[in-house]
Amino acid sequence: MSPTRRPMWLPASNYYALTMAVVIAFFFLVWGILHDGGDETPWISAGIGASAVLFGAVILREWVMRRARNRYVTAQRNFDRELREVYSRLGNDRDSEKLTLGQNEAILSDIAKKSSAARTLGKFSATHREVFELCGDYLARNKRELSLIGTGSPRLVPLRKSRDRVREFHRYHVLQWAEIEARELTQDAKSRAKFSEKVESAQAAMNVIDSAMSFYPAEPALIESREVIVELVASIKVAHWVERAERAAFKGDYKEARSHYRDALFYLGRDNISNEDRDIAADHINTAIERLRQLEQD
């Protein structure tokens, strides 16, 4: 089971930027009204009023965030408690000689509840991962049971139905986990300033998709996501080497600049993917290389 996770809060920068805009507008509005009314020191009253608005906005945000955190913690505790119960039930059932229909139905009910809880906490990838891992444990147990029972067993049909139902849970939560996790990592890659951090986050997103594709290699959504991430990784590396080439050219080191441009071309064609964007980028880079050759000859 994963350790306790912290909720992912939205950054406060946008909220406080909007708050400051409102406070400034309020300050000048009150100042104008008081000034027109003949107040000799309108900025004092306007400043006090604006400070009150700012203080109220801070208190409001803290109150809202505290309530949101409490809701999250409560839901997460329920989620983890249900997870422990399901794993405990699976463990106890492994110790028994066979999985009875009653035990199977109880496990299936627990998995369904866990799936519902994960949907409630839908934006958190870790909860989806826990559910599909739980489904994987059940499916392994189910497979062993089916391999041991005869064709006339009354458990055969219920276990097959349970297997099909849990497979649906498994697929849904694998895809949800991959989508959320990969999206967060690609956004992180785009926001990073350092080249190494960009590549690390983008590669982590690729690993997530590859992990999901180990279960569902023909899933269209995963195939499309992988193609997008491949393009992201290539664009990060190409942009890095183009930037280094431009810096070298600016310093007059044309030989080094051409070397960096060739590195950019290498990463542009490394994946053996041809599309319009890559062709345009390659044309620009080749044009830059040719221009540097001409400058060296002059």
Neighbours of 142 (CB within 10 A): 22
Please check whether residue 129 is in contact with residue 173, taking contact to mean a CB–CB distance below 8 angstroms. Answer: yes
Q: What is the pLDDT along the chain (298 residues), one digit of tens a residue?
A: 344 344 444 455 666 777 888 888 888 888 788 777 777 777 788 788 888 888 787 787 777 767 766 666 666 566 566 555 555 555 554 545 688 999 999 999 999 999 999 998 778 899 999 999 999 999 999 999 999 888 889 999 999 999 999 999 999 999 999 999 999 999 999 999 999 999 999 999 999 999 999 999 999 999 999 999 999 999 999 999 999 999 999 999 999 999 999 999 999 988 888 888 899 999 999 999 999 988 887 6
Domain 96-217 identical in fold to domain 233-298: no
CA-derived radius of gyration, the chain: 29
Domain positions in the chain are: 10-80, 96-217, 233-298
Q: For the domain with range 233-298, which CATH number is right: 1.20.950, 2.120.10, 1.10.8, 1.20.58?
A: 1.20.58
**CB under 8 Å, gap of 24 or more: what pairs does 83-91 form?**
83/1, 83/114, 83/130, 83/134, 84/1, 85/110, 86/110, 86/111, 86/114, 86/134, 87/1, 87/134, 87/137, 90/134, 90/137, 90/138, 90/141
pTM passes above 0.85: no
Give the Cα-Cα-Cα angle 230, 232, 233 (nearest 5 degrees).
65
Query: CA 257 to CA 280: how far, in whole Å?
Result: 19
Q: Which amino acid is at 259?
A: S
Q: For the domain with range 96-217, which CATH number is right: 1.25.40, 3.90.660, 3.40.50, 1.20.1630?
A: 1.25.40
Q: What is the pLDDT of residue 128?
A: 95
CA distances in angstroms from 233 to 50, 85, 190, 207, listed in the order given: 47, 41, 10, 12
